[in-house]
Amino acid sequence: MEIKRLGRPIPDLIISKTDVGKSRNYSRNFNSSVYDRFKWLCGCPKKKNKLFCFICLVMGGNQSAWTQEGVLVCWER
């Protein structure tokens, strides 16, 4: 099976966010270590730099956010 041989795509995505604090601005950028923490995630730079559920894509999950639309990274402090 080709997809098993290639594995999940884990590209460096270009996702950033700037927050305005009381005294300064904060900038956050996507960190590819998220792939190490969540082994089921995969990325697709061609789909607006979003993340997808690799297992859902392979097995045919029905939650469109994880299989068709993609999700943005949760920005936690």
Residue 53 · residue 64 · CB < 8 Å: no
Among the ranges given (10-14, 19-23, 43-47), the one the predictor scored with the smallest mean pLDDT: 43-47
- Which of 16, 61, 22 has the alpha carbon at shortest distance from 42? 61
Take residue 66 and report the two structure tokens written for it: 């994880």
What integer is the mean pLDDT of 3-10? 84
Mean pLDDT of the chain: 81
Own/partner pairs, 6-9, CB within 8 angstroms, 24+ separation: 8/41, 8/42, 8/54, 9/42, 9/43, 9/44
Question: Does the structure show a pLDDT above 90 at 74?
Answer: no
Give the pTM. Answer: 0.69
